Every structure is written in C-alpha cells, then in structure tokens.
Chains A and B, each alone.
Chain A
Amino acid sequence: MIPPAFEYHRPTDIAGALGVIAEHGDEARVIAGGHSLIPMMKLRMVEIAHLIDLQDVADLKGISVGETIRIGAMVTQHGLINDAALSAAAPILREAALQIADPQVRYCGTVGGNVANGDPGNDMPGLMQCLDATFTLVGPDGSRDVPAREFYEAAYTTAREDDEILTAISFAKPAGGYAYEKQKRKIGDYATAAAAVLIEKQGGKITAASIAMTNLSDIPVFSEAAGDALKGTDGTGAALDKAVAAMLADIDPTEDNRGPVEFKKHVAGVILRRAIARAVDRA
C-alpha cells in the first residue's frame, strides 16, 4: 500500500510553500504530521502530484502564552501536551489532546493539520469553537483571519481556499472551569461523541458558558442555545436538562459503525452532562 508517485518539496519558509502552490495549483498539497493525509494517500483516496512538507517552516512552530494565546500550526499534539505554560493557561487543550489517538500519532499529528483537515471526527475543531478561536490563513493575497465558528462548511470543506496555508490559531486565555469529555470505543478511536465546555461563575451563578460537540454532525456543533440555558443558574437540575435538550436539537448524527442515531444521541447527552458537571465543579 503506497500511493502513486509524487514530487516532494521541503520549503523552509511560508513564501517557499506558497510558491510551490502557485506553480502547481490543484496538483499541490501541504503535508503536516501526515497522520490523516498519508492513510488517505495509501488508500489512493487522494492523489497528489506535489507534496509540500511543512516540517522545516520555522514560522509555523512555537506557542506564545499571554492574555492572547497563539499556537503555530505545526505544533504537534505531543508538543502541546508538554508545554507547561500553555497547560497552566488553558488546561482544556491538554485534557483534549491527551484523548486524541495514541502516543505515536500525537508525536506527529499537528494542531494545524487537525483543524484544517475538516474531518468531523477530529477533536480540535469543536474545541476551537468552544474557545472561540481564530484561524490565521496566508495566501497569495496576504493574510486573513477566520473565526473557528465560521470555518467549517461540510465534511472536508472549510473556508480555507486551496492556495492558502493555515499558519496559526489564537484565542483569548480562557477563564473559569473547563472539561473535555470524550466517548470512544477504544484508545486510538475517533469520538462516538465528545464535548468541550467552558464555564464562568460568580457568586454560585453561571455568568458565561461555551459548549461545542464533536462527531455528531458533518461539522463541529457549537450550540449557543445550550450555553444560554445555563446562564444565571447553578448548572444543575432543570437548567442542565434544558442545556442538554438544546444541544440535542442542534446535532445531526448519522448511523455508522459507532452506532445508530438514537444511540449517538443518548451518548451525546451522557457525555455533555458529565462535561458540564466537571466544568461547573472546576469553575
């Protein structure tokens, strides 16, 4: 199982990568960690004539932590998990990344590849919607920012143009409690359902709540109504029921090898309850 022949490029800066895309258009594609792309190429489900390896592009690496947090697209899940400053400032990222794939995959797989891929099973897109993150894209006409909540259009279809490279992800340092909860059949599996939750509280009452879920539609599901249902409450009882009902109205799972629709809705409810409870507890 190897893909058809391709020409391999390894530029050292973003301009070099954009240059190869400009020259070869649709025939060119970037590769980051390769742990979504290589399996697809081996199955010959995608064919690429010019493969542009981003591993030597230093400008796509690095994490900076302040009131705004910025993560370079080529930061690996392993790098993210082991960044002490990031884990202190935004522990939800570490909690989520530890639930992605297995150790070997996490050494290679990047945050940029995970959000750019557009696979509904990827965990980072929902998380980034929960954090209200912004993706920075650079193309032939310069740079632009797209909110994570507006980036996903359909499975494998995103707001990124084919000639753009995703360079970084940024978001405001989150406050309050957090939880990333995921149900999977085994380690290394994609989610049957996963929930990212951030909760802020004041005097026992929830003042802000952000909730997104993964693999329950062809795109990640950020539910404003679910968050609103918790505001002004203590996040238990009727308010929790209302938040879960709001989310269940927003998801649209399909039957596959992870189960029928009714089962997925059930699991989504269970996972969301757990995530909200943990986030409220930590707030």
Chain B
Amino acid sequence: MADKMHLKLTINGEHLETLCEPRELLIHVLRERFNITGPHIGCETSHCGACTVDLDGKSVKACTLFAAQAQGATITTVEGLASPEGMHVLQEMFREHHGLQCGYCTPGMITRAWRLLQENPDPTEEEVRFGMAGNLCRCTGYQNIVKAILAAAAIMNGRDATADDAVKTPEEVA
C-alpha cells in the first residue's frame, strides 16, 4: 500500500487537514473523512453532476478527481453558500420555484449554478440550460430548476423576480 499523504484543504473557509491515500476520490474524502455530505454520489462515473463542488473557481465532479490532485485547493460545497443572515438567494429560489422534488441532485445543481452566475451574471434561459448540462435530474424535468436559477439571477441583478419581464428574452440579449 502506498504511503498516506497529508492533505490540506480550505473548505467553506475553514482549513482542514487529514491523512489519506492519493487514490481516494475527493468525494469520498469530503463525505467520509470530513463529514461534508452535501455533495452526493449519484453515478460515481462522471456523468450526473450530483458530486459537483467548486474547486479553485471551477465547477468539478468530485468523483473524478483524486484527493492528491486537490492538495492545497480552496473548495466550496453547498454547505458554504448560506450566510448567518440566511440561505443564499439560489437556495431561496429553488425553494420558491419548486426546483427540487427528491432533492438528490440539488446540492450539485445549486453549487454549479453558483459558479455559472459568477461567470455569466445575467444569463438567458438557453445559457442556463447549456451551463447546467453537466447536472442531471431524474425528477423535475428541469423546468423549475431553470426558473429558479433565472429568478435568482434577476434578484441578483436588482430586478423583481416576480415581474413578467424579470427574465431576459433572447431579443434583449441580441
């Protein structure tokens, strides 16, 4: 057996350390060594996105990364999005618009959407669908997930998310 390594990560603003084997997957380290169970394991084969975390500013599938590759990284999981004042606006909008049913995909969805809205703060519906294509949902049919993300973007851009014109039409973008 290979030697264990001393893994140091910053997760949701906290410095965390553990001993682990380089071959352990990041998702297992998060869930089993740090008890950070927001990121889920859906497929474990790089397809579903339930394990999505934010690593050094990128949305990544934590089932397709060895712990060793993440050495020194700064990671945000769904647990890190809320603040003492309350839930993140994305979380609020997922609740408001019924963006989940069983909820299994939700932590990955919200963590991915969080990065997407930082890169593209005011996306069209089509851009949301394209930007969320790495996250599968077996329940909702996606409609309400897309609505929730667009509503969160509208609020973050200072528009009234309940107004008819809150969501940008393709013509407005062109």
Distance (Å) between the CB of B174 and the closest chain A CB? 19
- Interface flags for A20-44 (1: CB within 8 Å of B; 0: not) read 0000000000010011001100100
Instruction: Say yes or no: A102 contacts B134, CB within 8 Å.
Output: yes
Distance (Å) between the CB of B25 and the closest chain A CB? 6
**B68 — which chain A residues lie within 8 A by C-beta?**
8, 10, 51, 53
Distance (Å) between the CB of A258 and the closest chain B CB? 16
- With contacts A1-B44, A5-B1 taken as known, whether A39 is within 8 angstroms of B25 at the C-beta atoms is no
Kindly specify which of A104-112, A138-146, A233-241 makes contact with the partner chain: A104-112
Instruction: Say yes or no: A2 contacts B47, CB within 8 Å.
Output: no
Provide the bound-state CA to CA distance between A6 and B24, in Å.
10
User: CB < 8 Å: which of A10, A101, A108 contacts B60?
Assistant: A108
**A149 — which chain B residues lie within 8 A by C-beta?**
none
**A35 — which chain B residues lie within 8 A by C-beta?**
46, 64
Instruction: Say yes or no: A39 contacts B69, CB within 8 Å.
Output: no
Instruction: Say yes or no: A107 contacts B69, CB within 8 Å.
Output: no
Q: Which of B36-74 contact A (CB under 8 A)?
A: 44-47, 49, 52, 58-61, 64-66, 68-69, 71
User: CB < 8 Å: which of B21, B49, B61, B69 contacts A5?
Assistant: B21
Instruction: Say yes or no: B64 contacts A103, CB within 8 Å.
Output: no
Distance (Å) between the CB of A141 and the closest chain B CB? 30
- Interface flags for B131-161 (1: CB within 8 Å of A; 0: not) read 1111000000000000000000000000000
Instruction: Say yes or no: B60 contacts A104, CB within 8 Å.
Output: yes
Instruction: Say yes or no: B22 contacts A6, CB within 8 Å.
Output: yes
User: CB < 8 Å: which of A3, A10, A34, A78 contacts B58?
Assistant: A78
Instruction: Say yes or no: B58 contacts A8, CB within 8 Å.
Output: no
**B5 — which chain A residues lie within 8 A by C-beta?**
8
- With contacts A10-B71, A108-B64 taken as known, whether A4 is within 8 angstroms of B23 at the C-beta atoms is yes
For residue B2, CB closer than 8 A to chain A, the reply is yes
Instruction: Say yes or no: B66 contacts A108, CB within 8 Å.
Output: no
**B23 — which chain A residues lie within 8 A by C-beta?**
2-6
**B66 — which chain A residues lie within 8 A by C-beta?**
8, 34, 38, 51
Provide the bound-state CA to CA distance between A35 and B45, in Å.
10
Instruction: Say yes or no: A34 contacts B69, CB within 8 Å.
Output: yes
Instruction: Say yes or no: B28 contacts A103, CB within 8 Å.
Output: no
**A55 — which chain B residues lie within 8 A by C-beta?**
69
Instruction: Supply 8 further A-B pairs (C-beta < 8 A) apart from A1-B44, A8-B66, A104-B112.
Output: A2-B23, A4-B23, A34-B65, A39-B46, A104-B49, A104-B134, A105-B61, A108-B58
Selected A-B contacts with CB under 8 Å, 7 pairs: A4-B23, A34-B69, A38-B66, A51-B22, A102-B134, A104-B61, A188-B134
Top 8 A-B pairs ranked by shortest CB distance?
Answer: A102-B134, A8-B22, A107-B58, A5-B2, A104-B134, A8-B68, A187-B133, A102-B133
Q: Which residues of B contact A (CB under 8 A)?
A: 1-3, 5, 21-25, 28, 44-47, 49, 52, 58-61, 64-66, 68-69, 71, 112, 116, 131-134
